[in-house]
Structure 1
Amino acid sequence: MKKIVLALVLILVGAGSSAPAAAEPRSDIVRVWNEFALAAVRATRATDADAARTYAMLNVAVYDAVNGLTGPARAHALIPGPGPRGADPQAAAVAAAHAVLVRLDPDRTAGYDTRLQADLAGLRPGHRRDAGVRWGREVADRVVASRADDGSAPVRSQPAGSGPGIFRAEWSGVQYRDVRPFAVADPAVYVPGPPPALDSLDYAAAFAEVALLGDAAIPAPDKLAIFQFWSVPAGTVQPAGEWVKIALARSHGLPLPASARLMALLTMTLADTTVATVGTKFTYRHWRPATAIREADTDGNPWTRPNPDWASRAGSIGGSPEYPSGHSSYSGAAAAVLAGFFCTDDVRFTHTTDTAPGGQARTYPSFSAAAAEAGRSRVFGGQHFEFSNQAGSAIGHDVATEVLATRLLKRTGPTHHGACPL
């Protein structure tokens, strides 16, 4: 029976965009409002941490609003049900999404209001719709209130450092190392041990690799294209947003409760991965390859050689400490959630990022293959060592493992504890 269910899910996921426009707007609700969130992140030039928090707040509110009216068959994310008997889950979902976004992004309220009215106009008027709207707004207000003191503000910075191995610039956003998690018990347990010692052979090997693969002076159009594809800096949807886009495409055809659950699992994981990633960066303050290569005569390693003129293929040093790679953390987390949710990693898909050169899509045989390329792109750009790619991927994977094993479980009967959450 499980194989039959999985096959049906994969058929639905693979249906892509060929479904007729007039199809019942079940998962379309989740897609449309997440696309609004993606647009808000682009418009506000949100940081990667703030972006991940926005996506999580939106999708937690939608999930809890829907879940509170459909049993609730599963555990809540932040706000417990039940909601009002007989209320419309679709009305609750759109009202919850709208209420979160107008609070987080008031400058675009007019557009959110227009979409809310259009969504509600497509539902049968009456008590069920009105009750759903009231419940969705209540859930959203409670989600926003619950995150008001989560530690994401005010913005704090770590001062510039000095000396061998230390990141040199001041960087902001370090308050996220103390942000209250959405789903995991303690993000600090995912802070790994330190990077390789500067005088070690492992460090020298990683140094040699990035000095070659990430060197702007060496033409490598394929490496440059991969870096650019996954670069997604401020003004884009950020790394977390690219995985939101991937998940939305894969969720096509799922019923509303399943689509809402997928996006809540994914975005809570991404937000909590931020906390462990920032905590690791803050703890070790590791220097970026550009500084390391230019000042290799100070690292005490007999196997490294300085190159004062070295420049990264990315064209910049990087705005935060090097260890670990945040792109790798987010990608490792998302790939693990998606593989867990769909009970397989081997889902072929095509994706176009906000920074894809020429808007050209890339195709991947699996979620993990895309995550691996995203991580390696940081080495190709000369912004990270490979050990930081590996550390970031491990952080994300481990956070995802806890979230899948402990959150949004069925209240009775078989749960999604373990490898397969269906």
Structure 2
Amino acid sequence: MKYALWSAALVLAASGTPVRADVVSDWAELQTIAAEAESDSTAPFDPSKISAYGRLALAMFEAANAADPAYRSYLGLKPASQSASVDAAVATAAHAVLTTTYAGQKKSLDDALILALAGIADGKRKTDGVALGKQAAKAALARGGWDEKATMSHYRPTGPAGKWAPSNVPFPPEMSAAKPWFLTRPDQFRIAEPPALTSVEWAASFNEVKKLGARESKARSPAETLKAKFWAFYELDPVLRQIASQPGRSVVRNARMYALLAMAAEDMDIVMTEGKLHHMFWRPINAIRTADSDGNDATEVDAGWVPLLNTPNQPEYPCGHCMFANVAATVLAAEGPPPSGGYAFTSERMPGIRVTVPDMETYAREVSQSRILAGVHFRMTNDISDDLGQRLAENALTSFAPPL
């Protein structure tokens, strides 16, 4: 599952997005460029790229915070000389993390660092900033990543012996062995079992998605159809830029925002993977096509039912989109009031279109509802997943870098 936290910097530059440049946002976007350049769906999963976003964002935060102390260090870095350049420290830290993670993109990343440092006057401030950035990157790279000692959770196809079941592995097993940032263990936030298939709650969720999420649904409005498609592949980077560009914000405050969101989101991935593989709950297309097997008289089978959007190759419970939206909403709402005019989102599948919401609560609610409209999740799952995302974010907010 992809959540586009940051889009390509070149695309943003060409779009004329009316926000000021920010060293943190710029290098966060270069991470996406490097990741996409090295993406290969046929290559084996590379555990070295686990925690890529979190390590980058944490390194930038630690570098900025050591140069301009405002928060408690997560990694225990001590404040540096007051002469250190914040921008030099952040750029150098980001470059060191990215070249370690995406070695094949070293030439392009080297060029980016040369240009970033060229805008900073030579002297002690620059030299101290570069040294600080390297120190922060080294410390960040030593955290997160893959725990070789952890027991990985492997996908096991379900169904009676001798009968076909989906064979595509939904998650690389290495994801279940990622080192958490704020969790004490992968199942720390495991949710309760789904409602019984004979329950009234199950029937209500079943019939809602069957009605609203069908490909040719007459109950879903044209606007709702577009919302389902938009929020399936939305991008958060314009919103992060909006927030980072608000008057009075410092580089270190922006770096903390990126780090907190990235690290909380990576913990969310661990919780989501563990939960889905533990519960192995069926998707709407499975449930609706075989409703005659659920033992509930209030559900009716439709053997030809198909959802509006393709069903992800993952168990249904909990909802990853719902969790991430609520993690992001909770973290970003803590950054202060919305920008004038609200938050503007884009979607990689609908270029040129922006959806503006007045607040983070609305954003999270829209994303959650969109998964029902898409025909891929149940209301009962979304409700508990919304709450789970909020709790994960609150856990991160209370654990990470309080103000000095």
Alignment match, 2:229: 228
SS in 1 for 2:196: coil
Gaps of 5+ in 2: 1-15
SS in 2 for 1:203: helix
Alignment match, 2:369: 376
Give the aligned residue type for 1:182. W
Give the aligned residue type for 1:39. I
Aligned length: 375
- Partners of 1:115 and 1:318 in 2: how far apart? 36
- Partners of 2:87 and 2:149 in 1: how far apart? 30
Alignment match, 2:315: 321
Higher helix share: 1
Give the aligned residue type for 1:109. K
Alignment match, 1:416: none
- Partners of 1:78 and 1:301 in 2: how far apart? 53
Q: 1:108 to 1:256 in 2, by over 3 A?
A: same
- Partners of 2:150 and 2:321 in 1: how far apart? 22
Give the aligned residue type for 1:223. E
Alignment match, 1:201: 200
- Partners of 1:323 and 1:251 in 2: how far apart? 34
Worse overlay, 154-163 or 122-131: 154-163
Q: Give the Å deviation of 1:288.
A: 0.7
Q: Give the Å deviation of 1:138.
A: 2.2
- Partners of 1:42 and 1:209 in 2: how far apart? 37
Mapped pair 1:406 → 2:403: no
- Partners of 1:290 and 1:346 in 2: how far apart? 41
Alignment match, 2:252: 257
Q: 1:362 to 1:373 in 2, by over 3 A?
A: same
Equivalent residue for 1:302, pick from 297, 305, 322: 297
CA RMSD of aligned residues (A): 2.8
Q: 1:149 to 1:278 in 2, by over 3 A?
A: closer
Q: Give the Å deviation of 1:345.
A: 10
- Partners of 2:208 and 2:35 in 1: how far apart? 34
- Partners of 2:239 and 2:275 in 1: how far apart? 27
Confirm or deny: 8 A CA contact 1:214 1:383 kept in the other structure. Answer: yes
Mapped pair 1:102 → 2:99: yes
Alignment match, 1:77: 74
Instruction: State how 1:273-284 maps to structure 2 within 5 Å.
Output: 273-284=268-279
Equivalent residue for 1:31, pick from 7, 22, 25: 25
SS in 1 for 2:298: coil
Alignment match, 1:179: 178
Q: Give the Å deviation of 1:322.
A: 0.2
Give the aligned residue type for 2:283. R
- Partners of 1:364 and 1:295 in 2: how far apart? 38
Q: Give the Å deviation of 1:46.
A: 8.4
TM-score normalized by the length of structure 2: 0.84
Alignment match, 1:340: 334
- Partners of 1:338 and 1:278 in 2: how far apart? 24
Alignment match, 1:63: 61
- Partners of 1:288 and 1:409 in 2: how far apart? 40
- Per-residue CA deviation, residues 112-131 of structure 1 (Å, 9 max, x unaligned), is 11111111000011222122
Q: Give the Å deviation of 1:70.
A: 2.0
- Per-residue CA deviation, residues 113-168 of structure 1 (Å, 9 max, x unaligned), is 111111100001122212211221222123123234446999864121127xxx85
Alignment match, 1:8: none
Give the aligned residue type for 1:122. G
Confirm or deny: 8 A CA contact 1:153 1:175 kept in the other structure. Answer: no
Q: 1:162 to 1:373 in 2, by over 3 A?
A: same
Confirm or deny: 8 A CA contact 1:353 1:361 kept in the other structure. Answer: yes
Equivalent residue for 1:330, pick from 324, 329, 344: 324
Equivalent residue for 1:269, pick from 254, 264, 271: 264
- Partners of 2:186 and 2:377 in 1: how far apart? 23
SS in 2 for 1:305: coil
Q: Give the Å deviation of 1:18.
A: 4.3
Q: Give the Å deviation of 1:40.
A: 3.4
Give the aligned residue type for 1:58. L
Q: 1:332 to 1:39 in 2, by over 3 A?
A: same
Q: 1:347 to 1:198 in 2, by over 3 A?
A: farther
Q: Give the Å deviation of 1:318.
A: 1.7
Q: Give the Å deviation of 1:389.
A: 1.4
Equivalent residue for 1:132, pick from 125, 129, 132: 129
- Partners of 2:153 and 2:81 in 1: how far apart? 41
Q: Give the Å deviation of 1:33.
A: 0.7
